[in-house]
Amino acid sequence: MDQGWEYRWGDSPFTADGIPVWTQETGADRWSPIAFPSNPPGRGSRTNVWYRVILPDGDWRDPVLYVFSVDLIVEVYLDGRKIYQFGHFDDAGKGRFEGWPWHMIPLPVGCSGKPLYFRLYSDYMDIGLWGQVRIMERVDLFQEILRNSIERLITSGFSILIAFLSLIFGLFNRGRGNFIAIALFSLASGCLVLSGSQLNLLLIDRPLFWDYMGAIGYFTIPVAMAILLERWLKPARVLLVSVIWRFHLLYLIGAVGLSLMGLVSLADTYPLFDGCFAISLTLLLIPAAQVAARGSTDHKAILTAYAVLSLLLLLDMAVAHNLVRWFQVPVAWGALAFSLAIVIISLRHYARTQTALRAMNVSLEHEVRKRTAALARLVRRERQRAKMLGIENQKRAELEKILSDLQNSGGVSEANEILIHCLPALCRPLAGAYYQRDEREGAYRLLDLWLDPSGPDRAQPPALVPVTEVFRLLSDDNHWRLSVLYEDPRHGERELGMLWLRIPEARGDGELSDTGTPWRQLIELGLEKIGLVFSQLSLHSELRRLSYEDGLTGVKNRRFLDEVFERETALAKRHGRSLSVIMCDVDLFKRFNDTYGHAAGDIVLKRLAALLASVFRQTDLVCRYGGEEFCVLMPGTQAKDCRQRAEDLRQRVESESFEYEGHSLGPITVSVGIAVWPEMPIAPETLILFADQALYRAKQSGRNRVEIYIDR
């Protein structure tokens, strides 16, 4: 019904029968033609208007007039009779907003060609009918409503489902605020679309209820959209976006609250909202476009979805405000598409984040494993170090003990015995062997072998192994070959022996240095100190030798005799063993010196000392008593044997031919005095004294003779 419409401002008076007077008047001068019964010109502050139209011809069985919709309340008259009413007119012809439902006005059969009158009241910006006005069969209308509604029911159902799923996802996944925002948007658009479904009124005939639902949904959309954008714009969060969603939230609460309280009409909240919404949509485009321009594909996709939905919403607003010709703007599909786009992008984003998190977890676990292994290695090394430290301390103590024993020993050979005995304990738990160097033989002697059954003893090496053979035997990568060196005062650096040690086993992770090096350092330090002690001992014995030896003849000197004599007399007494002393003096040596010179005298003394050494046994002690006088101590020798030896000496000297610088020095003789204990009744300590007396007697008796002490 898009032609033949007329309007007339104001409200008709009514007859006493309740028939509007304007429906009875004839003459068209008060009515003005209008293309569509909405917003006639010259409204001013008027709130009442009447429209009329001649019902077209048609062959209907059950005709109805379908109107979508009316601003704001309406009464419809045919033949002066009220056939339809929406809202309540008071006596002043005014009424309250009752909602924006679609209307089905039943028409009687045969109404064609008759004028149909609409009495309207509106304090809203629009006044009149809106959208579609059509006459059709009732059944066709129901079918069309069903057809139109299915689309909305499906899209709203989808939106609400998305809202529900997003809410669940958002609630059970901490930090998934995006999904809460999606849930809010989907719920808002779902409610908006559902409230616009025409089937609703057939189910629940409460237009205001549906309008409130629609208003809440509609007013929530900018809030949800801004929150969504705000989340996606992170970290470039824009103040403007946050201001916008807060403003719209306040508007939603304020508008719905005030309407429910009856302070404002819900209808009146729409124009202002639409204005703000249009501005907000445009403003939101600016930061969104900025981020999308330099953002990811996701950002660009969101902006595209946002731009499409914004366009649809703006178009819908333009239709609502008659700025463009009425048509069904597919806002429902736009909102659904927007929700789906956001959901898909969010899920993709979520999946990517999860994958990244998993990858991070894997790398973190890998890192943790690596660190743990490093820590375990460190702990093992520390433990090893602590163990090594314990062993080191113990070994140091053992070494100190060995060094002290060596220092307290009687000399190099005794120290050697101690070393051979102690070395295995010092080196344990390392397996090894010790080869002592025999300089005279130019060979090594295997003196000890411990712990190592695979050592060189398996072949049962001979007691003396040539140097080259030992080197061949001991040259192997699994063992250390360490020499024990010391300084000999007469021959310089000497090798005492060779230590052969099995290298401690590596742990298989390159810790050989951790286990091997301290061991080697420890042993090397020990051997160095041992070598030092041997050097000292060697030096001492050399010094001792020098201090007890007569420089000219090489036999022991008087000092040595004094020390040994004391010990020998004590031993003789303790064991009841005999002890003999011989005193021997060159005859007329002064004259000899005077005749041949002092140097020749020295030669004679040296020769005489050699003769003494060859005549007496090794166990006898030959000393130079002083000047040309010699003393021989003969432990365990009785008078008879002693006298025999003394006689042998005298004869050897007498028969010896002494020479000096190619000249014969003439005959040399010696006088000898003997004293023997216990065969003679004297104290052992006086043996030298009495032997000297006997010597004196020999001199007195004509020299070149042996005299034995006789107690007179």
Q: Which of 345, 605 has the CB closer to ligand GTP?
A: 605
Binding-site string for ligand GTP from residue 622 to residue 641, where x marks contact by CB under 6 A and - marks none? -----xx-------------
Query: Binding to ligand GTP (CB under 6 A): which residues in 350-379?
Result: none
Encoded one letter per residue, x for contact with ligand GTP by CB under 6 A and - for no contact, window 540-569 reads: ------------x-----------------
**For residues 52 and 607, which CB has a smaller minimum distance to ligand GTP in the complex?**
607
Please, which residues have CB within 8 angstroms of residue 196's CB and are 6 or more apart in sequence?
A: 152, 214, 332
CA-to-CA distance for 553 and 548, rounded, in angstroms? 12
- The reply on whether position 440 binds ligand GTP by CB under 6 A is no
CA distance 443 to 351: 81
Dump the DSSP string for 357-426: HHHHHHHHHHHHHHHHHHHHHHHHHHHHHHHHHHHHHHHHHHHHHHHHHHHTSSSHHHHHHHHHHHHHHH
| Selection from 323, 66, 101 nearest residue 196 by Cα | 101
Residue nearer to ligand GTP on the CB measure, 514 or 585: 585
Q: For residues 574 and 591, which CB has a smaller minimum distance to ligand GTP in the complex? A: 591
Stretch in the footprint of ligand GTP (CB under 6 A) among 236-244, 395-403, 431-439, 583-591? 583-591
Minimum Å distance from CB 689 to ligand GTP?
Answer: 18
Q: What is each CA distance from 629 to 151, 268, 591, in whole angstroms?
A: 148, 153, 15
User: 125-144 b/e with 16+ CB inside 10 Å = b?
Assistant: ebbbbbbebebbebeebbee
Q: Which of residues 449-478 bind ligand GTP (CB under 6 A)?
A: none
Least spacing, CB of residue 614 vs ligand GTP, in Å: 20
Q: Which is nearer to ligand GTP, 134 or 699 (CB)?
A: 699
> How far apart are alpha carbons 459 and 440 in whole angstroms?
25
In terms of CB distance, is 148 or 669 closer to ligand GTP? 669
Tokens read off for 144: 């069309």
Of the pair 208, 603, the CB lying nearest ligand GTP is at 603
63-71 vs 103-106, strand pairing mode:
antiparallel
Which amino acid, 639?
A
Q: Choose between 433 and 670: whose C-beta lies nearer to ligand GTP.
A: 670
Contact string 48-87 vs ligand GTP (x = CB under 6 A): ----------------------------------------
Q: How far is the CB of 703 from ligand GTP (least distance, A)?
A: 6
| DSSP letter assigned to residue 709 | -
User: How many residues form the binding site for ligand GTP (CB under 6 A)?
Assistant: 17
Rounded to a whole number of angstroms, the minimum distance from the CB of residue 590 to ligand GTP is 3
Give CA–CA dist 233/238, Å, rounded: 8
**494 residue type, one letter:** R
The end-to-end CA distance of the chain, in Å, is: 185
Nearer to ligand GTP, 419 or 668 (CB): 668
Pairwise CA distance, residues 580 & 682, whole Å = 12
Calpha distance 38→132 (Å, rounded): 11
Task: Note whether 233 and 225 are within 8 A (CB).
Answer: no
Closest separation in Å from C-beta 461 to ligand GTP = 52
- Residue window 585-624: x/- pattern of binding to ligand GTP, with contact defined by CB under 6 A: xxxxxxx-x----x--xx--x-------------------
Site string for ligand GTP, 690-709 (x = CB under 6 A): ---------x---x------
Tokens coding 118: 């609409």
Q: C-beta of 654: minimal distance to ligand GTP in Å?
A: 14
Query: Of all residues in this chain, which one has the CB nearest to ligand GTP in the complex?
Result: 601
Nearer to ligand GTP, 43 or 703 (CB): 703
Binding site for ligand GTP (CB under 6 A): 552, 585-591, 593, 598, 601-602, 605, 627-628, 699, 703
